[in-house]
Chain A
Amino acid sequence: MRLPAWLAQHLAALRALLVLTVILGLAYPLLIVGIGRLPGLSDKASGSMVSAGSTLIGQSFDGDPRYFQSRPSANRYDPTATGASNLGPESVVDTLSGDPSPSLLTQVCARSLAIGKLEGVDGRRPYCTPDGVGAVLAVFHRDGLTGPVTRVVSVNQTGTPFLTTYRGVTVEPAGNGTDYRALGAVITPIRGDAPADPVVPADAVTAGGSGLDPHISPAYAALQAPRVARERGLPEARVRELIAEHTTGRALGLLGEPGVNVLELNMALDGRDNEPHASR
């Protein structure tokens, strides 16, 4: 019996797929697993494990002042739910009621203020209020987008607004659950007088891409050094030495950015850097 051509063709396709699945889907990955068992590669292939985790996977240090703190994370350093915040560059209006969620701007402002307090430095940033939310006004004009200003609301504050007046109009606090953009206001972030180059570095107030970023910038490590030294009763010079030991420069001197591995650094501070690693 001869099969119709279309059926024969699909059967050939199925056979081709099965043959290729055996070669590419089983033999190939298992070969690489095998190569990964070889001495010299096996530590890396199994995840660069140390006694308190993996040197490649960042951890949260929960604000414990004895430890260097990692970058913010969109998933609290949970490797079973990796990812980023995905909030855009103009995410500036907080959702205050219902299921409240801060805008990216407010998250940045709040982190900066908290870190400033923890490290005893100036945590102010442009477009942030002194109480650590986004300094954003909803400005109503008489004719929509033009004409004199008729009403101004500080959209992220329910308490006292960061400005008393704007263009001669008294600034009101936000009402819970009001969408001022939908009412026709122009959303206007206010720059303020904070220095353009804030003391708290950029990586300290932003979440990374994976939510597992194992590194912080050398600048953020340097900012934390005096506090860690004080909390541990160590000379600051010793802490700086340890930072230098756990700083990776640019790859080949050219690629990427220098970074300090936070877990390795904290393990060295605890004297746990030579413990045998957790097993797989």
Chain B
Amino acid sequence: MTGWIAVLMLAAALVAVHRPFGDYMYRVVSGRDHNVVERGVYRLVGVDANAGQAWGVYARGVLAFSAVSILFLYAFLRLQDRLWLSLGLPAVEDHIAWNTAVSFVTNTNWQAYSGESTMGHLVQMAGLAVQNFVSAGVGIAVAVALVRGFAARRAETLGNFWVDLTRITLRILLPLSVVFAVVFMVGGVVQNLSAGVDVTTLTGGVQHITGGPVASQEAIKELGTNGGGFYNANSAHPFENPTAWTNWLQILLMLLIPFSLPRVFGRMVGQNRQGYAIAAVMALLALGSIALTVGFETHGAGTVPQAVGAAMEGKEARFGIPGSATFAAATTLTSTGAVNSFHDSYTALGGMMPMVNMMLGEVAPGGAGSGLYGMLILATITVFVAGLMVGRTPEYLGKRIRVREIQLASLYFLVTPLIVLGGTAAAFATGNDATALNTGPHGLSEVLYAFTSAGNNNGSAFAGITVDTPWWDVALGLAMLLGRFLPLILVLALAGSLAGQHSVPESEGTLPTHRPLFVGMVAGVTVVLVALTFLPALALGPLAEGLS
């Protein structure tokens, strides 16, 4: 019962803050003034902040920034033993460094390593955590560019990538992170540069209590829907997530930006109700998924949960089952991938829900930015499907959905399933599924989960599987890279195509896209597309396990 109160409190908090916070973000991304710090940044970077960019230029900016980020982070990881605060840890192995660099730049934060035994403090804060900020900034920038495409009238340009990235990072992500890092410290999250200290336990043993700049990383980890834990245990670790209220706050932070961006969208296209409709689709899918996840876990089906009397394996006592299951749903409904409990030990169907959430394409509400652009693609597909059914000309927000638009939208939807299912098949074809910890259908679930998480840039795992082998690091690195940048280029191409169009006036034949009917249709199209794509794979893994 108390579990539902926590969910209701989350919903109430989001309803209360999404408007003012969304309005604030709207002013940040649509303002024309540059403050003194930003002008300094533009001068150092050497860009003209007032120049608009066509979609191709914008996309090349995104790709150049991400490519440089991957190389920089890779070098950082490979050289960490020669830098300060490495805690005496050696250079990160080449395949793990590649995997990790791609992982953090793509906002995935899949971790093939264990933080406390691999990463020094400098590489955590100046390498990994920087990408937590800027990868979220890139996601939001691309979403904003797509919305500009819908809002524009015969425009050549989509805004300026460098300006968007700088403003989103410095005006939205940084101030909120400062505030919440301090709040997390009040809750007990550590923030120091200590290499750790050995203590004598009550029974005379020795325990090494670790240190680290954790609070500063924790805030942006959730806010930027990143999810990479400072420690291997991620948000289950008491130094990352010490109490039930910090746990609740972490869930809220994951959902905050993704649920507020539809407000930004509504403001930018000049019709707030369009934003509410998108938020309603997200909320509908999210509430359904949270209810199912908490329901399955609380019910506790399966041999071991029945023997135990509750699905408590892998869950911390202070969070309990609802507090763990709600976190698991939220972390996969967004693209966060932080975990406060270990999904591998969930009940068969409870563990299937995080997978289903990711397979939805992480649109309910999705990652910072990527959730909004994913949902707008689905809305575009829905308009097209609805247009086919009733013989109306498909148009969305005054823009015609022509052949080019629907091609780009369809390709967007097809890319990720291809990566996920292709990758899973490749793992089995090459015998690399043998690194799974569990056997039978659960072993298949571990492999399927890994590629679903990487392809959708989530980063959570059925963590029993061993993935620090060269094959897994390379394969999942490619899955993350393609799963991030192919959709992103398609989104920007779509934005460019939409921006160049005239606006068509609403007519008798226009399908209203702010009514409950449309909300229901988008949710329906999303679920049907995903079910058709992934049901066979799920049937071999979690469904086989749960129904046997």
Contacts and interface: CB of A to CB of B under 8 A. Distances in A.
Say if A and B assemble together: yes
Most chain A CB within a 10 A radius of its CB, from B162, B231, B244 = B244
A84 to B, nearest CB: 4
Interface stretch (B283-291, B313-321, B422-430): B313-321
Contacts of B215: 32, 36, 45
Contacts of B5: 254
A212 B200 CA distance: 16
B243 A60 contact: no
B255 interface: no
A44 B133 CA distance: 25
Given A56-B238, A104-B304, A280-B194, A215 B317 contact: yes
Contacts of B323: 255-257
B157 to A, nearest CB: 16
B2 A89 contact: no
Interface in A202-220: 202-203, 205-217
A148 interface: no
B316 A25 contact: no
Given A56-B239, A61-B202, A45 B192 contact: yes
B317 A213 contact: yes
Contacts of A93: 439
B165 A85 contact: no
Interface string B90-122: 000000000000000000000000101100000
Given A29-B217, A84-B344, A208-B315, 19 more contacts: A14-B68, A17-B65, A20-B169, A28-B177, A46-B211, A53-B202, A80-B210, A82-B231, A84-B314, A86-B342, A87-B304, A88-B442, A90-B304, A125-B307, A189-B303, A197-B309, A210-B237, A215-B317, A248-B318
21 contacts: A14-B72, A21-B130, A25-B129, A44-B188, A52-B200, A60-B203, A79-B116, A81-B117, A82-B233, A84-B342, A86-B345, A86-B463, A91-B304, A125-B307, A125-B309, A215-B317, A251-B248, A252-B245, A254-B5, A255-B244, A266-B202
Interface of A: 6, 9-17, 19-21, 23-26, 28-29, 31-33, 35-36, 41, 44-49, 52-54, 56-62, 64, 67, 71, 77-93, 104-105, 108-109, 125-128, 134, 181, 189, 191, 196-198, 201-203, 205-217, 248, 250-252, 254-257, 259, 263, 266-267, 270, 272, 278-280
Interface of B: 2, 5-6, 9, 41, 44-47, 60-61, 64-65, 67-69, 72, 114, 116-117, 125-127, 129-130, 133-134, 162, 165-166, 169-170, 174, 177-178, 181-182, 185-194, 196-197, 199-203, 205, 207-211, 213, 215-217, 231-233, 236-239, 242-245, 247-248, 301-320, 323-324, 339-342, 344-348, 351, 437-442, 445, 462-464, 545, 548
